[in-house]
Amino acid sequence: MAAIFQGVGAAAALSSSPSNSFDSKKFVFSPCRSFSVRKGASFAVVRSDGRVNLNPKGRRAQQLISNAVATKSDNAAASSSSKPGHELLLFEALQEGLEEEMERDPRVCVMGEDVGHYGGSYKVTKGLAKKFGDLRVLDTPIAENSFTGMGIGAAMTGLRPVVEGMNMGFLLLAFNQISNNCGMLHYTSGGQFTIPIVIRGPGGVGRQLGAEHSQRLESYFQSIPGIQMVACSTPYNAKGLMKAAIRSENPVIFFEHVLLYNLKERIPDEDYICNLEEAEMVRPGEHVTILTYSRMRYHVMQAAKTLVNKGYDPEVIDIRSLKPFDLYTIGNSVKKTHRVLIVEECMRTGGIGASLIAAITENFNDYLDAPIMCLSSQDVPTPYAGTLEEVTVVQPAQIVTAVEQLCQ
């Protein structure tokens, strides 16, 4: 492994020399196998207008995202095809952002299980090994604690690794490295080291993946000093946040939801990044502030349609930055609506919602006309049975009821 990172380090050193131009192909030390795709594989495409497209061999995908994507108006759907830019699925947007950053900065490298020629468990790294070589797209053994620590060490020596957890739940095996090293080494070294690393992967409640593969680790990592956390929810912010996270000098944990990978959206052709510490105003409103993130954004927007029909005007904010919170955007909304509803997929006890309640109460309590309400997943292991799994997660009807209670 030392030889591997010496080779990548040499690439970075060459790139910093004014007399040398970096060519990643020169550092491909082993022949690249051709990328293979399993025959008969199929997937559903959930467009941002709510339509579901299937490839010819695909099965019905009605269970892929249940009540997750809010339908936009027909006019918006019709006009989307005429907008500039290009359409990408969310996992493709992540891949495009990662590829662009690897082209821009030879210090960026990727490591994780099956990230190489297989292309990652959700194809976020598809094609990168063939383009950049085995030294910059490194397949690792099934040893999360080891390769996460290796990535942290690589960041300390000047590289910018992107570590993929095949499933966010598996990163619990690397918790010691993330907590004691990734988050604290900049401080404990007296500023001698920076840790510009991105730790990313799929998480959230899927479709009958069982308790171990339905983890929401936001609450686990939020108390670690020195760590930033972001959660993407659209192809646009997935790419922009990915690029910003790679360029950041801080360690960033990047949360992706397993059920949003096939969400489709048109994104700009030109280069852009999103602010890692800025929330997104999804829908302006006057009556109540609804704070949410990740998949719950779409549950909230579906509920918002019902609320508007009932005469309510909710303001919806995708907080995106789970640590630190964008208290400027949140505060301005609270001062306008005077009521707050938090909707999360995280567990209720010690979750992101609990931290938001504390932050809002400490900073904006005088502006509240009603107690803050929080809708969270139940404090139970996620059941395997589909009907029970759905009961543990917040549904749009619960959001409508909560807003009605807040606005009485």
Span 296-346, pLDDT tens digits: 999 999 999 999 999 999 999 999 999 999 999 999 999 999 999 999 999
Active-site residue flag, 144: yes
Q: What is the pLDDT of residue 81?
A: 53
Beta strand 198-203 with 160-164: parallel, antiparallel or unpaired? parallel
Q: What is the pLDDT of residue 311?
A: 95
CATH number for 222:
3.40.50.970
Q: Choosing from 96, 113, 144, 344, which is the catalytic residue?
A: 144
Burial-class residue 142 by CB neighbours within 10 Å (0-12, 13-18, 19+).
Answer: exposed
Q: What is the pLDDT of residue 252?
A: 97
- Same-domain status, 306 and 337: yes
Active-site residue flag, 99: no
Give a yes or no: residue 382 inside a domain: yes
Q: What is the pLDDT of residue 82?
A: 61
Q: What is the pLDDT of residue 47?
A: 45
Give a yes or no: residue 366 inside a domain: yes
pLDDT in tens, 30-50: 333 333 333 333 334 444 444
Ranges in the chain, pLDDT < 70: 1-82
Q: Which two tokens stand for residue 62?
A: 């009605």
- Same-domain status, 322 and 251: no
Cα–Cα distance, 146 to 152 (Å, whole number): 10
Contact by Cβ (8 Å): 254, 101: no
pLDDT in tens, 143-171: 999 999 999 999 999 999 999 999 888 99
- Same-domain status, 327 and 190: no
Q: Choosing from 213, 257, 265, 344, which is the catalytic residue?
A: 213
Cα–Cα distance, 225 to 175 (Å, whole number): 13
* φ/ψ (deg, to 5) at 177: -65, -40
- Same-domain status, 235 and 284: no
Domain of residue 325, residue span: 280-407
